[in-house]
Structure 1
């Protein structure tokens, strides 16, 4: 009888833990998050459900309101995180583990938190571009690059963020001249993604391109793209009065958050050493937690000094940056 009562009590206490869940709306493909969510579930018994929302995440959360099933949003680019906050679909989270993140990689009001960083770098052909030939973002507007630059559209979030950072460093007039200079140096009309630009370099269509660091990790591990990756090297340009531009992938708790306690546990897990190591090894991104090493592959790309410009400032300047990009008709 005692055994039956004990078993019953254990079952009663275990059921709520096993029944807990966290629901995520993600701009990132679920397979990129699966190693992290699997590790979290193994540690806590809390199930994680991920819905891939490619477009319209803010509008979806606004339409769902308090009825939203989403507890967390996970996305890339500080502009998207800022958009979610400004739309009023997230809530502040006061937590010791999250507050320990670097101040420039989290929202001042604790509405969103960076999980990884990635640098916006230059891919340069190993033979056609000499060492030291490009060292700054300002260099990209130099006429010596005429007909040698490829890029995805500049209205893409990654390039808008870079332009906003340039704007913060140099002001509107200089940023306009910079955009016009790069446009004049293009080898072709902006198109495709970052990896497509590396393919174009490999094919001889251009010599340099802008791209995010982690794409190199994805390409070298893809049999169809490894040859493209091996044709280029990574260059970490800087602003003339700053460092290398970085952006984030990040998370925020939704205003509705029906499973708030479980969601907070997942947020705390994602900034743990274990989760940061998983990020580093599987997604080829830079950890945000001090003391967690980059992957061996990423370490091989070399060291750089990240720009110390607060990401919140970049987010604020995004609308003006987009206006300047459209003013020069960069993608036209």
Structure 2
């Protein structure tokens, strides 16, 4: 009898052990199912930065939502989305420049979204007026200049206007082609801030100031300054950050920042402010994972992520609660800027004025051989 009692206890112990193991296995399974239930979000992006992918991984870790990425040029991505129609394979479109975002909206591939989080994190001027797209980071269209050949006194009077009107800069200005969306958006902003007639005049005068035919990217303009081809160049601020942090000694950009500096024009009391543009994002029409798409965009708009963009991609945050990186802040400090003065426009106008801007640039023979 005693032996049977002991055996019964042993059997019960085994049963309890098995139940415990099964319960444990069930918990693991539930965790896995929870992760699977979180789903995914698919991105078409024109950006190609390691930081972006690191932030997507961080998002997955925090939410369980898997992020799938396809990179391509803006126009290619837009055409792909149009072709896919109701069977579109992506949920989110990310690209640089409000002009590209406006184009995506006009091609009817985005949908408006309502998010109080985004409204709180992203100022109205960096959002589409109808909430089809939202800015994530911003960059200024600045002037790069030769440290050796441009004096402090010359910088004091340097504006977008003096760049084309001052004889000092004749045959000294470097800029990329009119096909570049950054230049198109700069001109589009002038149509808003100073009117079409004065913009036509500005573009025509810029042509006479060019040091050579427009070619290359923004960083190539800095190299041309180093090589003595010109003294000043129009470029996006984050490209100067890339140059300043170039560590590959075999790169043509290595050491260029030792000879070239950055300047934010139009900061005076009566000036219009520097032209600022964005990288931004929208939810694709017919997206299969709309809720996850909005969650991702909200995540990227948070101050913590904004500061990572600023520190590693050399872009200014759009979220006012995010701190500008030390490097970017040093650029402002060196110029005595306590708060960057920007053009007082909603960036939606860059898309509205894009066609007219390109028409003006073409009429002025922006890209034709210099006489």
The answer for the alignment partner of 1:252 in structure 2 is 282
Output the aligned Cα RMSD. 1.7
Of 95, 108, 121, 2:142 maps to 121
The answer for the alignment partner of 1:328 in structure 2 is 364
* Contact map agreement 1:149 1:187 (CA 8 A) in 2: yes
The answer for the alignment partner of 2:9 in structure 1 is none
Between the aligned partners of 2:34 and 2:355, the Cα distance in structure 1 is 45
* Contact map agreement 1:30 1:51 (CA 8 A) in 2: no
**Once the two structures are superposed, what CA deviation does each residue of 1:238-266 show, in whole Å capped at 9, x if it has no partner?**
28641111000000000121122222211
The answer for the alignment partner of 2:29 in structure 1 is 11
* Contact map agreement 2:246 2:255 (CA 8 A) in 1: no
Between the aligned partners of 1:10 and 1:24, the Cα distance in structure 2 is 29
Between the aligned partners of 1:310 and 1:30, the Cα distance in structure 2 is 26
Between the aligned partners of 1:169 and 1:272, the Cα distance in structure 2 is 31
* Contact map agreement 1:78 1:315 (CA 8 A) in 2: yes
Q: How does 1:163-312 map to 2 (within 5 A)?
A: 163-223=187-247, 224=251, 225-238=253-266, 241-302=271-332, 303=337, 304-312=340-348
Of 52, 55, 60, 1:41 maps to 60
Q: Post-superposition shift, 1:11? A: 2.1
Confirm whether residue 313 of structure 1 aligns to residue 349 of structure 2: yes
Between the aligned partners of 1:95 and 1:139, the Cα distance in structure 2 is 42
Between the aligned partners of 2:231 and 2:55, the Cα distance in structure 1 is 37
SS at match of 1:192: coil
* Contact map agreement 1:169 1:241 (CA 8 A) in 2: no
Between the aligned partners of 1:130 and 1:307, the Cα distance in structure 2 is 26
Q: Post-superposition shift, 1:162? A: 0.5
**Once the two structures are superposed, what CA deviation does each residue of 1:60-97 show, in whole Å capped at 9, x if it has no partner?**
11100111110101000001101111111111111111
Q: Post-superposition shift, 1:14? A: 3.8
* Contact map agreement 1:198 1:209 (CA 8 A) in 2: yes
The answer for the alignment partner of 2:160 in structure 1 is 137
Q: How does 1:64-143 map to 2 (within 5 A)?
A: 64-100=84-120, 101-134=122-155, 135-142=158-165, 143=167
Between the aligned partners of 2:353 and 2:271, the Cα distance in structure 1 is 18
Q: TM-score, normalised by structure 1?
A: 0.95
Q: Post-superposition shift, 1:164? A: 0.8
SS at match of 2:22: helix
Between the aligned partners of 1:291 and 1:13, the Cα distance in structure 2 is 34
Query: More helix by proportion, 1 or 2?
Result: 2
Q: TM-score, normalised by structure 2?
A: 0.86
Instruction: Say which is worse superposed, 241-250 or 38-47, in terms of deviation.
Output: 38-47
Relative distance call for 1:252 and 1:132 in structure 2 (3 A) is: farther
SS at match of 2:215: coil
Between the aligned partners of 1:331 and 1:189, the Cα distance in structure 2 is 6
Relative distance call for 1:25 and 1:132 in structure 2 (3 A) is: farther
Between the aligned partners of 2:34 and 2:294, the Cα distance in structure 1 is 16
Unaligned 5+ segments in structure 2 are 1-18
Between the aligned partners of 2:149 and 2:54, the Cα distance in structure 1 is 39
* Contact map agreement 1:214 1:283 (CA 8 A) in 2: yes
Q: Post-superposition shift, 1:326? A: 0.5
* Contact map agreement 1:163 1:175 (CA 8 A) in 2: yes
Between the aligned partners of 1:13 and 1:222, the Cα distance in structure 2 is 43
Between the aligned partners of 1:247 and 1:113, the Cα distance in structure 2 is 12
Instruction: Say which is worse superposed, 169-178 or 28-37, in terms of deviation.
Output: 28-37
Between the aligned partners of 1:110 and 1:159, the Cα distance in structure 2 is 25
Unaligned 5+ segments in structure 1 are none
